[in-house]
Amino acid sequence: MWPIFDYGRFVSIISSSDVYGVVWMRSLAQLHKMANLRVLVGVKRVIDYAVKIRVKPDNSGVVTDGVKHSMNPFCEIAMEEAVRLKEKKLAKEIIAVSCGPAQAQETIRTALAMGADRGIHVEVTGKSIDGDNNQTGQMTAALLDWPQATFASEVTKENDHLKVVREIDGGLETVKVTLPAVITADLRLNEPRYATLPNIMKAKKKKIAKHKAADFGVDLTPTLEVVGVEDPPVRQAGQKVESTEELVAKLKDSGVV
């Protein structure tokens, strides 16, 4: 049972299901556990990344009506990684989940066409876009009390755990996480494949389970109120300087140096 909350940008989650009690064949059990990995991938329907975002005239949010929507590109990357894990026989089942309006089913079907085995749609009415909050993966890990590896640019299996290379401000960081774990995808993790036409056809036969938030006993009353949404301030033009000396002088004048 997953608690339901708003999805941000980073949405790849890896979970394990069956725990094998027979520990005496330790290495085999570990291998078996690995191969029985189920991967839950969150996919979100957001405003297409190529579209220019416009703020509503009343500053209550951004314009979504009539605007082109598609699967968040980072969700595509997460899906691709899950499919690769399955192809390497490291995962047994991929489940795509989306919390959103009825149209979220199109997004789930795209995930099915990419290789997910089944889908879960939790119907949540009301508007929702990607807030780029960078919270969902981290919140999920905290709520489940699972280890997390965010901004993943490489995921490899090492014995009974995963080695994840993370992209951080200073460069790259490598972490080891035991399973089950939460992993969030970064741009350089992989290049998502095209959904082939045969797979698009196969996706039609795959099941999408429909639920409401109430089914899980989750209260959707918002605890946050969006007071206003504004365009970022227009960037001021810079100044061109002729020499290093002039640059230093100007920096000194403005009190920066």
- List residues binding another protein (CB under 8 A): 70, 106, 109-110, 113, 194-198, 200-201, 203-204
Shortest spacing between CB 114 and another protein, in angstroms: 10
Q: For residues 161 and 193, which CB has a smaller minimum distance to another protein in the complex?
A: 193
Shortest spacing between CB 11 and another protein, in angstroms: 20
Tell me the three-class secondary structure of the chain, residue by residue: CCCCCCCCCCCEEEEECCCCCCCCCHHHHHHHHHHCEEEEEECCEEECCCCCCCECCCCCCECCCCCCEEECHHHHHHHHHHHHHHHCCCEEEEEEEEEECCCHHHHHHHHHHHCCCEEEEEECCCCCCCCCCCCHHHHHHHHHCCCEEEEEEEEEEECCEEEEEEEECCEEEEEEEECCEEEEECHHHCCCCCCCHHHHHHHCCCCEEEEEHHHHCCCCCCCCCCCCCCCCCCCCCCCCCCCHHHHHHHHHHCCCC
Shortest spacing between CB 77 and another protein, in angstroms: 14
Q: For residues 114 and 152, which CB has a smaller minimum distance to another protein in the complex?
A: 114
Q: For residues 187 and 201, which CB has a smaller minimum distance to another protein in the complex?
A: 201
Q: For residues 147 and 192, which CB has a smaller minimum distance to another protein in the complex?
A: 192
Shortest spacing between CB 42 and another protein, in angstroms: 20
